[in-house]
Structure 1
Amino acid sequence: MSNTNEAVLVTGASGHLGREAVEWLLENYKGQIIAVTRNPVTLSDFSARGVVVRQADFDQPDTLDEAFIGAKRLLLISTDAVSVPGQRLQQHTNAVEAAIKAGVEHIVYTSQLNPEPGTESLLGGDHYSTEEKIKSSGLSFTILRNNLYADNLIPSLQQAAASGQYAAATGEGQTAYVTRKDCARAAAAALASSFTGTRTIDLTGAESLSGTDVAQIASEVIGKSIQFVPLTTDQLVGIFESIGLPNGAAKVFASLDTASAKGEYAVVTTIVQDLTGQAPASLKEFLTENLAAFTSAS
């Protein structure tokens, strides 16, 4: 896929996905790169490498209006404001409206797999409403529906390395876990591309795995027998609450397991490779790369 040389902009550039996206652009893109963050000091390393760093706050629309000026293609990374109902959707709405005002021509948005009404995921509503806002904006767009991150398995698998049990409320459902890095690379590639139409595409890993599969792969990588222990959603909520999560947040995160159990995240696509030219990392490859995270636990 050919690249444009227009000014591109990445929101949330100091976050994990945002940083990875900017890194990809620095290595693969020749046009101007604009990185937006609430605290520009955190991106001083990018400034030193020629990235234009701008300050903006999603809760302050006027800062977005100024930060987006000059950008023709914008990567809107979904925010993590999920504890206050409605806040994240308002933030995304502010960003889309600012993009229209600034003359942005194409939006790339990081959504979630299967966010339509009826999903078990309590995070789906914000994503679906944001998608609808983008579709009605009049701008061209690429909506990337990311599957669950393999990265988010690490805390559970660290506990599994210590206890020998991997507990989840995914039942017999399968999930095509994808790494955050692969999602960042795909988003950056979509941002840098010359595509000017409208598309909604699913980003997944290359294999769909059950809880038993995850436990087996973790056993092989960590070098310790780990068994899958199925939980109910209520049990998982209780576990999340026991480690300090408020009930609302616990239910939100547990709902992802419920959605997995219903098969909402089982689809496998080739979109990561289609966009980047490189196959997504398998769960075994990802865990092997992050083996140090399990050393103390096991």
Structure 2
Amino acid sequence: MSETILVTGAAGQLGQRVIHHLIETYNVAPGRIVAATRSPEKLSALEDKGVVTRKADFDDQAGLEKAFSGVDRLLIISTDALDTPGKRLTQHKAAVTAAAKAGVKHIAYTSMPAPDDSLVTFAPDHLGSENTVKASGIAYTIFRNAWYHDNYLHGMPHNLQGGKWYSATGDGKVSTIARDDCALAIAAALASRTSESATYTLTGTASLNNRQIAAIVSEAAGKPLDVIDVNDEQLGQGIRGAGLPGFVADMLVSADANIRAGKFDIVTGDFTKLTGKQPQTLKDFFVAHKAALTAAGSH
């Protein structure tokens, strides 16, 4: 009997790609996949492919238990409730409790690198969630996804327009990975039917500092980019001045501080172990997304 795999956050960017790779790369029958989200009406395209869709609201534990019924393997994609510290942890605890009650046999969870030694504002939520999964007694796979290449697409077009990148990472290095590569590795593990518990840290093959990253962006976009070193306070003021909410500013400042402290300077071979492939380099990612990098009028 083949396993039933449920993916939460199925309307989100990572969830969509995990389901894509389960079907297209690892040939999992769509009827064995359950796509769950707060708004299942957003999943009509998956439904058309034969994927089962269910409503899953992380603030409704009874509803989660119902959604998880008959599921063998559950992927909890960490929720987007970042505005309130601790809210994600509460939501993830509800999901793990519901999974145990529903008889789920294996729980997978998307975390971050080294959440036990991190300056990032949301690290405690991830660490607490990992510990909750482990304490459930259910077999688990934890995916500690490195900072995505994709995250640079938010600020870099604006940086390139002015030719300046304000950074508080100092000489610190970070190893980043494409979101789609994380999805590929997660799908590989979900499709593997493993009953072992394991933790994987999904990173790129190189760790780079802000000067090296700026040179790669500049070459891919064909525009000059200078790094301007700032401190945490200056960075936070600049981000708030651009109109972003305070919790986003705090999160981005904490991420730069984490890089500066060397805590994101982690390179593993876990992606290749799971997929047998090499992850997309930052250079190749930027070349593939040149249009987004050089789009005028972006913020």
Q: What TM-score bracket applies, with the shorter chain setting the length?
A: over 0.9
Match of 1:16 among 13, 16, 21: 13
TM-score using structure 2 length? 0.95
- Aligned: 1:26 with 2:28: no
Question: CA–CA distance in 2 between the matches of 1:57 and 1:188?
Answer: 22
Look up the SS of the partner of 1:268 in the other structure.
coil
2:107–2:139: 8 Å Cα contact kept in structure 1? yes
1:68–1:102: 8 Å Cα contact kept in structure 2? yes
Q: CA deviation at 1:155?
A: 2.1
Amino acid at match of 1:74: L
2:85–2:122: 8 Å Cα contact kept in structure 1? no
Give a deviation string over 1:208-250, Cα, whole Å, max 9, x none.
1100011000111011121122221111111121122333332
Question: CA–CA distance in 1 between the matches of 2:79 and 2:176?
Answer: 20
1:7 corresponds to: 4
Unaligned runs of 5+ in 2: none
2:172 corresponds to: 173
2:188 corresponds to: 189
Question: CA–CA distance in 2 between the matches of 1:109 and 1:248?
Answer: 23
Question: CA–CA distance in 2 between the matches of 1:191 and 1:30?
Answer: 10
Look up the SS of the partner of 1:74 in the other structure.
strand
Look up the SS of the partner of 2:50 in the other structure.
coil
Number of residue-to-residue matches in the alignment:
294
Question: CA–CA distance in 1 between the matches of 2:3 and 2:158?
Answer: 46
Look up the SS of the partner of 2:228 in the other structure.
strand
1:204–1:268: 8 Å Cα contact kept in structure 2? yes
Question: CA–CA distance in 2 between the matches of 1:243 and 1:162?
Answer: 15
Question: CA–CA distance in 2 between the matches of 1:268 and 1:36?
Answer: 32
- Aligned: 1:36 with 2:36: yes
Q: CA deviation at 1:139?
A: 0.4
Amino acid at match of 2:83: S
The percentage of counterpart residues that share the same residue type is 41
2:63 corresponds to: 63
Amino acid at match of 1:262: A
1:173–1:263: 8 Å Cα contact kept in structure 2? yes
Question: CA–CA distance in 2 between the matches of 1:222 and 1:252?
Answer: 27
Look up the SS of the partner of 1:125 in the other structure.
helix
Question: CA–CA distance in 1 between the matches of 2:250 and 2:28?
Answer: 44
- Aligned: 1:222 with 2:245: no
Amino acid at match of 1:20: R
Q: CA deviation at 1:24?
A: 0.5
Look up the SS of the partner of 1:80 in the other structure.
coil
1:261 corresponds to: 260
Q: Which moved more, 1:22-31 or 1:97-106?
A: 22-31
2:296 corresponds to: 297
TM-score using structure 1 length? 0.95
Question: CA–CA distance in 2 between the matches of 1:295 and 1:258?
Answer: 27
Q: CA deviation at 1:178?
A: 0.7
1:112–1:145: 8 Å Cα contact kept in structure 2? yes
Question: CA–CA distance in 2 between the matches of 1:253 and 1:166?
Answer: 14
Give a deviation string over 1:127-154, Cα, whole Å, max 9, x none.
0000000110000111111111111111
Look up the SS of the partner of 1:59 in the other structure.
coil
- Aligned: 1:96 with 2:96: yes
Amino acid at match of 2:17: E
1:232 corresponds to: 231
1:5–1:30: 8 Å Cα contact kept in structure 2? no
Question: CA–CA distance in 2 between the matches of 1:34 and 1:209?
Answer: 38
Q: CA deviation at 1:296?
A: 2.8
2:286–2:293: 8 Å Cα contact kept in structure 1? no
Deviation >6 Å, runs of 4+: none
1:8–1:71: 8 Å Cα contact kept in structure 2? yes
Q: CA deviation at 1:88?
A: 0.7
Look up the SS of the partner of 2:141 in the other structure.
strand
Give a deviation string over 1:157-188, Cα, whole Å, max 9, x none.
11221111122211100001111111111111
Question: CA–CA distance in 2 between the matches of 1:130 and 1:199?
Answer: 15
